Amino acid sequence: MIDTAVSKRINPLQELIKSKLNPQKKNVTIKEAAIRLNVTEQTIANYIKKGLIDASKIGRRIVINLESLENNLKEVKSLKYRR
């Protein structure tokens, strides 16, 4: 009984510690973003050209910040349903 009570409180703390020690990757390439969103790479490139997705160029690679990607997609969805 005590073990279950203790494990219920310790498991979320262990997951929090793991997430802090191994943070999620913050930048993704166009290919990775396309896989995450289940669209083609060309669609992502078009969104970047139109300004719907913020991207930055590091050397020859174009990288997209995951947080800004999620925020931009929320804005696009809200504009779509406003009509």
| CATH code, 25-82 | 1.10.1660
pLDDT at 25: 67
pLDDT mean across residues, the chain? 82
Give just the sign of the alpha carbon dihedral 36, 49, 43, 59. Answer: negative
Contact of 27 with 66, CB cutoff 8 Å: yes
Q: Rounded to whole angstroms, how far apart are CA atoms 52 and 3? A: 50
- pLDDT tens, position by position, 35-68: 988 889 998 999 899 888 889 998 999 999 888 8
What is the pTM (predicted TM-score) of this model? Answer: 0.59
Q: Which residue has the higher pLDDT, 20 or 27?
A: 27
- Rounded CA-CA distance 49/22 in Å is 33
Residue partners of 22: CB distance under 8 A and separation at least 6? none
CA 45 to chain centroid, in Å, comes to 17
What's the pLDDT score for residue 64? 92
- Residue 24's pLDDT is 66
